[in-house]
Every structure is written in structure tokens, then in C-alpha cells.
């Protein structure tokens, strides 16, 4: 299976979040070269601070595959996952995680803590940084600048 970069699709979700007044983070889950789920942050519209893009994408992907695990699936996300999302990624056994912007304050893929350290838990995804990092980061900066 040839690698394909789905970060532009995750970025489209992040831009949609921005338009809707949500923190602009987007995520897509890919299996066999096809997007099976996509989501953006919905903490405002759903009134739940745990409704991050990754959690919602995982929810949709499990429902789509009718499987409790997402083995063999990859996640593209515009911002480094927080501890909750990194833990969910581990729990559903996602294969690879492609990350846009780093998060030095809350990131759990090395930014603040590293929950993906090999051997720490019973599953460790492969993690890749630097996918459209500048664009992912700029979107967040523009959003918070506008909020102030």
C-alpha cells in the first residue's frame, strides 16, 4: 500500500471548525488508503470539553468498521494529541499517527509528555511529526487572536 498524505483533509476539517467557532483542530482516520472517518473539535457545539477531533473520529471509525479496535488504521491530526486523545489512540490500537502542529503545553506525543514511548503501554503507534505544521499552527494562532 503506497503512502498517501491525508493531512490536507484533516486541515479541511480544522478550517470547518474555525468557521463554526470551534478550536480549529481536524482529524481523519484512514484504512487501506481510504478515509473512513473525519471530525473536528466540537467542544463548543456539543458542550463537552472532551469532544476533541480525535475522539470523535475514533467514535465514527469504530462504528463504521463495527470493531472495538482500529488495527491497521492511521490517524492524521492537525495538532499533537493531548493525553486523553493519545490514550484513546493507544486503547483502540491505531497503527500510525501523523501530526501537524506540536503542542508544548498539552501534547502527549512528546510535546509535554510522551505516552507513545515504546513499551510504556501495551500498544505503541508509529508517530510522525511535521505534516503541514506551519499551516496547522497558523490556523490555531489566527483563531485565538480573533477570540481575544
- List interacting residues with its own copies (CB under 8 A): 43-44, 46-50, 52, 55, 58-59, 62-63, 66-69, 82-88, 90-93, 105-106, 108, 112-113, 115, 120-122
Determine if residue 9 is labeled as part of a ligand binding site.
no
**Angle between the 7-19 and 133-147 helix axes, to the nearest 10 degrees?**
10
Contacts (Cβ under 8 Å, ≥6 apart) of 38: 9, 10, 13, 26, 27, 28, 29, 57, 60
Q: Which residues are catalytic?
A: 54
Distance CA 123, CA 127 (A): 12
Determine if residue 123 is labeled as part of a ligand binding site.
no
CB 57, CB 37: distance < 8 Å: yes
CB of 113 to its own copies, least distance (A): 7
Which one, 114 or 137, has the nearer CB to its own copies?
114
Determine if residue 51 is labeled as part of a ligand binding site.
no
- Please tell me the number of Cα atoms within 13 Å of 94 on its side-chain side: 28
CB of 47 to its own copies, least distance (A): 5
CB of 115 to its own copies, least distance (A): 5
**8 DSSP 8-state letter:** H
**Binding-site residue positions for Zn(2+):** 52, 82, 85
Q: Which residues are annotated as a binding site?
A: 52, 82, 85
Amino acid at each position: 500500500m503506497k503512502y498517501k498524505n491525508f493531512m490536507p483533509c484533516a486541515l479541511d476539517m480544522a478550517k470547518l471548525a474555525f468557521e463554526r467557532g470551534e478550536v480549529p483542530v481536524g482529524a481523519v482516520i484512514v484504512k487501506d488508503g481510504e478515509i473512513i472517518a473525519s471530525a473536528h473539535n466540537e467542544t463548543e457545539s456539543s458542550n463537552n470539553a472532551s469532544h476533541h477531533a480525535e475522539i470523535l473520529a475514533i467514535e465514527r471509525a469504530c462504528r463504521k468498521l463495527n470493531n472495538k479496535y482500529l488495527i491497521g488504521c492511521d490517524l492524521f491530526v492537525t495538532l499533537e494529541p493531548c493525553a486523553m486523545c493519545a490514550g484513546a489512540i493507544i486503547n483502540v490500537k491505531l497503527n500510525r499517527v501523523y501530526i501537524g502542529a506540536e503542542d508544548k503545553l498539552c501534547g502527549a506525543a512528546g510535546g509535554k509528555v510522551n505516552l507513545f514511548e515504546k513499551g510504556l503501554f501495551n500498544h505503541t503507534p508509529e508517530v510522525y511529526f511535521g505534516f503541514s505544521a506551519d499551516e496547522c499552527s497558523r490556523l490555531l494562532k489566527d483563531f485565538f487572536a480573533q477570540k481575544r
